[in-house]
Amino acid sequence: MPVITCIEDLKRLHRRRAPRMFYDYAESGSWTEKTFRENTSDFEDIYLRQRVAVDMSGRSTKTQMIGEDVAMPVALAPVGLTGMQHADGEIKAARAAEKFGVPFTLSTMSINSIEEVAEATTKPFWFQLYTMTDEDFVSRLIQRAKDAKCSALVITLDLQILGQRHKDLKNGLSAPPKLTPSTIANLMTKWRWGIGMLGAKRRNFGNIVGHVKGVTDTADLGAWTAQSFDPSLDWDKIAKIKEQWGGKVILKGILDADDARMALKVGADAIIVSNHGGRQLDGAQSSIRALPSILEAVGDQVEVHLDSGIRSGQDVLKAVAMGASGTYIGRAFVYGLGAMGEAGVTKALEVIHKELDVSMALCGKRTLSEVDRDILMIPENFEGRWQS
Ligand code: GLV
């Protein structure tokens, strides 16, 4: 087993072991990828204040997200096609998250279905919902998540239409992969992945195939999205979905203070400051740069979480110090999964946990409740002063 010391190590292994089209799917931003890049580079612009001679015994990274106990404020983000990165990927990631004590969020566009993940786990997970024009299908999906005892509905708001990721078009992304001379040549070098896939429970979109009338080919994500996602989603519809769900709701994809106020109005239990990992509006601000204005607008009235750009425990610490009460990792756990299956997801969580714990201690703090903006050195004008 290779020595893994950081998320970058897992990423290198993921790249080597998973078919190119799926690694590229995870590792893409939309268009020029400016927002994708800045999600991580903006974290690097923030410094941590080192403190010394502070008793650092008895530390803990435990906290809560939407009232649920978590071993650290890091949930697994919903990621489409996770079960193509590694056989039964959603089941494996959900199990790793459960054992570690952090929330797992299942994507609507997952390979393993809600029912399969529920059967393989013992604690409730969260379900991420995309809204489709087929309202019956959406209602049934919500009911399936209820039946599976999911403890939160994460409604994604920033993907009614799909941002263009060049590599997906060039690679002919599909699930399962369409066999062309170039995919066959690539798959022949991924024997470990192929053997795993032969024994997988599922190789297509488990929440969709067999559940949507009139749709036979969901393999092409771009075409399916254009055909099925609801371009008319608005705040009234979100309020109706919330009512239909009747449980905790997390609204994902908020990058603007006005939208954060709207989310508050519809009664969200938490919002996720997110630009979808830089995969949607290229040219939008990074999540960490957008966070302060959103906290200022609604931070005392609703839980504010953050995703997009978290690759280390130091990033988690910076987001929490700025005021986020939870964060999400998408790519960071997918690298682990693509590298080594469930053990790789566990490794990703261990890496991030250790980085968070040690960095918190070196900033002179023993618990996350002691952590605040004081441990950060943020460049002047980090949030930007923009012409109105
Ligand atoms: C779906 O969520 C995607 O970003 O591809």
Whether residue 278 has its Cβ less than 6 Å from ligand 1: no
Residue 264's pLDDT is 98
- Contact criterion met (CB below 8 Å) for 47 and 377: yes
| pLDDT tens-place string over residues 14-73 | 999 999 999 999 999 999 999 999 999 999 999 999 999 999 999 999 999 999 999 999
- The residue to mutate among 129, 162, 225, 252, having the most atoms of ligand 1 within 8 angstroms of its beta carbon, is 162
Cis upstream peptide for 176 (omega within 30°): yes
Whether residue 165 has its Cβ less than 6 Å from ligand 1: no
**Using 50, 70 and 90 to split pLDDT, how confident is the model at 250?**
very high
Q: Annotated catalytic sites, by residue? A: 276
Q: Which protein residue's CA is at the shortest distance from atom 4 of ligand 1?
A: 279
Whether residue 279 has its Cβ less than 6 Å from ligand 1: yes
Q: Round to whole Å and give the CA distance between 250 and 268.
A: 6
Ligand 1 atom nearest 25 alpha carbon: 5
Residue 271's pLDDT is 98
Which helix (H) or strand (E) segment is 270 a member of? strand 270-273
How far, rounded to the nearest angstrom, does the alpha carbon of residue 126 sit from its chain's CA centroid? 12
Ligand 1 mean position, distance from CA 79 (Å) = 7
* pTM of structure: 0.97
Q: Round to whole Å and give the CA distance between 179 and 177.
A: 6
Residue 175's pLDDT is 86
Whether residue 80 has its Cβ less than 6 Å from ligand 1: yes
| pLDDT tens-place string over residues 144-187 | 999 999 999 999 999 999 999 999 999 999 888 888 999 999 99
Ligand 1 mean position, distance from CA 25 (Å) = 9
| pLDDT tens-place string over residues 84-117 | 999 999 999 999 999 999 999 999 999 999 999 9
Ligand 1 mean position, distance from CA 360 (Å) = 32
Residue 167's pLDDT is 97
Ligand 1 mean position, distance from CA 382 (Å) = 28
**Using 50, 70 and 90 to split pLDDT, how confident is the model at 1?**
confident
- The residue to mutate among 205, 276, 282, having the most atoms of ligand 1 within 8 angstroms of its beta carbon, is 276
Residues in the chain: 388
Q: How much of the chain exceeds pLDDT 90, in percent?
A: 89
Q: Is the pLDDT of residue 370 over 80?
A: yes
Q: Is the pLDDT of residue 338 over 80?
A: yes
Ligand 1 atom nearest 107 alpha carbon: 2
Q: Is the domain defined by 7-377 classed in CATH 3.20.20.70? A: yes
Say whether 274 counts as a known binding-site residue: yes
Q: Round to whole Å and give the CA distance between 308 and 41.
A: 11
Q: Mean pLDDT score of the chain, rounded to an integer?
A: 95
Give the Cβ contact number of residue 69 at 10 Å.
10
Strand partners, 388: none
- Contact criterion met (CB below 8 Å) for 18 and 338: yes
- Contact criterion met (CB below 8 Å) for 216 and 123: no
Which helix (H) or strand (E) segment is 135 a member of? helix 135-147
Q: Which of 142, 104, 140, 144 shows the shortest CA–CA distance to 122? A: 104
Ligand 1 mean position, distance from CA 109 (Å) = 8
| pLDDT tens-place string over residues 270-290 | 999 999 999 999 999 999 999
Q: Which protein residue's CA is at the shortest distance from atom 1 of ligand 1?
A: 80
Residue 228's pLDDT is 87
Average pLDDT of 217-245? 87
